Chain A
């Protein structure tokens, strides 16, 4: 399948990045050769696709990606894509060669080529994409990589600002384009170009067409440097010349006009299109040409001439006639060729002279006649001198202005007059470039003495200038077929017959040309008046300064805006969070009649135990609230609530939960008690009454909300999905304790995640407390005996084996009766913790030499390995199996693979709990003993 070579064309630059970087570490030439190979490979892969592309039928290749979202990886090669792919790869190849000579010896050439290749890949993606979403992604890649390329000399402030400017403008345009493309996709009902381009009439008739068009045009105009978004383009000249030659002739800025051309069948033809695209193009065309003459830096002159020519292409596309579309495509080709060669010639002069100021560089024809000849030919093409390619597309443009159907009768002179004036300005700046640089006396005070560049550095310019001449002299032979097929992509209804010839006879367009030349030369000769005027009236603020000002102010504004909500105060965040949740709840409940809060289920009678539990919960909560500033008392009240919760779980037929809650309760309380030593015993009242009232209101609303929610839920019937688990627990999981079977078998993957979270929390604590030094607030117990009462210590040592035996028992029975890894782990942790409490951390640590972090890791490893083991037998991750063994002496018992998993759970739980407690306990050994007694913490103001 030759069509699949299209993937290779697109992938080649990206695949080449890493090899080129590696080659760049070896030598410059290795980097250059490998980059050139990549470009050449792209061209080679394109060659077999040429016959299909020239047949006029688009080639589409496709790979499913997210078909349900209308997102496929799809590429398309038609005439327009082919033209651009040839420009990107062909001129790219010349740029690679040129850059090897242009960039200084000490530069990181590998990195440069890598960025260049990434950029070329992005451009190829834009021009070859069939799916518009995919095109957008590549569009953004070109924005990002051009940012890198422009900032190549990042040690220069200018380059950094220029890169930032380019990214801000083109990236902002990219956002608008995203909106536009999404709209277009919705209007057309597809993101596939084939579909979109075929539905032009429906798209143009859609009420959202104007919005969508403006959005897409914003994207195209920012990219192509159209007025008033042009200002990033001249500043991007801070990039090295090979980058400028590539970005501003054939690629980056052409992406904008490519987009206009690509969507031409779908979007063009309306008056809105004529007005928006035509006017923008015309203004840019004239403005760029006018400013170009005023630039003393010849790269600046070329930059504004690029803006001007892009304006011309945009204007041609905006004229809405078939022939003007053909002229636009033709000028895309011609401009790419002569502008790339001009930039490279300018780079040579810059390289040889060490400056780009045309007031100092004069008379170069004498020093480098061959380069000068090349530059003069290319500049002639830019001005539209006959026998060169630029002349042909300019004549096409002039012809279109004369015959345009929208400007007839009295208005018929408007377009031709405008075209002649703009043509005159183009002639003037081209004349300046030629005359100032190559003639006009002797050079003034150059840092270097100029001479001809190395043979190979000039070769790319020679190739391009040869093309300028070839197209100019034999247009039909050189580009006729390519132009026809490329224009065919814009004009699906058929390309009008056109004749590419040097001589069309003596007609009005030719008169306009002659007029433009005469006036242009006159304009150039009188340039000094213009310079004086410009000096006097031009704004004193340059665009980088203005941009930086806006950039800085935008940053300040964003910081200020952020500060309104994000001021670093947890209290405020929590209050906002609670308020927002309450608002959501109110919104969700709006309009619900009050009587529907109670569901149809019959009420369960209240018994004394429930009432007592309720009383205890209220007692515990109120106590915690009232005494929350006396921490020890608060903990006591809190534990009441925890115990009642455990009892409630027993009452509600959840023995597993009751066991878990009880043991967690114990370790939590111990944990909190351990912190008391380092936190002030009492908090000074820090909240104002208003704050308390606000928080009270929030809390009360939350409480009411939860009450209503819980009541509404409890009185409504529901369809459980647990029937499967209850039925399959024994036959499928080999256990009767359904809760445990769910944990280690049915939902084992969830549990794996959960113990991982637990392990992370414990490790986080471990890391946080590393190196923390705290001052205990109160005097500690007076003697060692007082700290560890002898009776307690002895008793606990006796109890330890017993408690561990219970833990093992709970673990083993867990699959069938309440218990399991979580609960057993907690019980074991409590048993070991008691040793720490009773005998002190030194005593326990000396005997329990366990590295809890390792146990943690081992537990996770065992759990994961159990899951992986099922892969060995070809089953999905964590598939369990079980069987019964009949050891002598005791009853038969069951062995399930889930048990190994549960062992992992057990180890993680034990290790996490003990890691947390022992680390907190160990803090007291690192106390700062310098100043005894508490120093009151400064009371912070509320925010």
Chain B
């Protein structure tokens, strides 16, 4: 299973990176979203596989999952939304100002 999960992360990363390098703002948003999935899951997996119950402090829990990466990733997911929202606003602002959705609108020399 380790290999399958690692491969899935690789696919997510590769797709995310490719889209990140595209010239339109929307593709960059898509790319960053895919990359966020990959990064979040990678951090989460820092707790390793093999947990048999959720990270609840109840008596008799059988190998509960590592709560720390989960706490880290939980806020990361929510902040990921904030980032996406900000990026989208930036893209729309650029569209409004420069009338193009190219990432280098009005900037590049």
Contacts and interface: CB of A to CB of B under 8 A. Distances in A.
Given A568-B109, A686-B23, A764-B89, A710 B42 contact: yes
B23 A942 contact: yes
A372 interface: no
A574 interface: yes
B75 A822 contact: yes
B81 A657 contact: no
Interface stretch (A276-284, A334-342, A392-400, A734-742): A734-742
Q: How large is the interface on B (under 10, 10 to 19, 20 to 34, 35 or more residues)?
A: 35 or more
A768 B78 contact: no
Interface in A592-624: 601, 603-607, 610-611, 613-614, 617-618, 621-622, 624
Interface in B18-50: 18-30, 33-34, 37-38, 40-42, 44-50
B19 to A, nearest CB: 6
Contacts of B100: 937-938, 940
A706 B38 contact: yes
Given A660-B74, A679-B91, A742-B71, A713 B55 contact: no
Nearest to B63: A653
Contacts of A706: 6, 9-10, 12-13, 38, 42
A707 B7 contact: yes
A746 to B, nearest CB: 8
Contacts of A772: 92-93, 96
A913 interface: yes
A54 B38 CA distance: 72
A618 B11 contact: yes
A648 B58 contact: no
Nearest to B105: A940
Contact of B4 (A610, A668, A750): A610
Contact of A762 (B1, B25, B27, B82): B82
Nearest to A928: B96
Contacts of B92: 675, 678-679, 768-769, 772, 774, 920, 923
A417 interface: no
B30 to A, nearest CB: 6
A672 B88 contact: yes
A475 to B, nearest CB: 67
A78 interface: no
A611 B85 CA distance: 32
A687 B78 CA distance: 33
Contact of A667 (B15, B28, B53, B81): B81
A923 B96 CA distance: 11
Contact of B50 (A604, A738, A754): A604
Nearest to A618: B11
B82 A675 contact: no
A751 B99 CA distance: 38
Nearest to A730: B57
A722 interface: yes
Interface string A890-913: 000000000000000000010011
A654 interface: yes
B92 to A, nearest CB: 6
B108 A668 contact: no
Contacts of A675: 26, 88, 91-92
B81 A743 contact: no
Interface in A747-782: 747, 750-751, 754, 757-758, 760-762, 764-765, 768-769, 772-774
Interface string A216-247: 00000000000000000000000000000000
Given A606-B4, A664-B81, A710-B42, A774 B95 contact: yes
A661 B67 contact: no
A714 B38 contact: no
A760 B47 CA distance: 30
Contact of A617 (B11, B21, B57): B11
What 9 A-B pairs have minimum CB-CB distances, sorted nearest first?
Answer: A703-B14, A707-B10, A761-B82, A699-B18, A738-B67, A711-B6, A699-B17, A710-B6, A916-B85
Given A710-B42, A721-B68, 11 more contacts: A603-B2, A638-B34, A645-B37, A654-B44, A695-B22, A722-B68, A738-B56, A742-B71, A750-B75, A757-B79, A773-B96
Interface of A: 563, 567-571, 574-575, 578, 601, 603-607, 610-611, 613-614, 617-618, 621-622, 624-625, 628-629, 631, 634, 638, 641-642, 645, 648-649, 652-657, 660-661, 664, 667-668, 671-672, 675, 678-680, 683, 686-687, 695-696, 698-700, 702-711, 713-715, 717-718, 720-722, 725-727, 729-730, 735-739, 741-743, 747, 750-751, 754, 757-758, 760-762, 764-765, 768-769, 772-774, 816-818, 822, 826, 909, 912-913, 916, 919-920, 923, 935, 937-938, 940, 942-943
Interface of B: 1-30, 33-34, 37-38, 40-42, 44-58, 64-68, 70-71, 73-75, 77-86, 88-93, 95-96, 99-105, 107-109
30 contacts: A567-B108, A603-B1, A610-B5, A622-B15, A624-B30, A631-B26, A645-B37, A653-B54, A654-B54, A657-B74, A678-B92, A679-B91, A687-B22, A699-B14, A706-B42, A714-B49, A726-B57, A726-B67, A729-B67, A739-B74, A750-B75, A757-B82, A764-B86, A769-B89, A769-B92, A774-B96, A817-B56, A920-B88, A937-B100, A943-B104
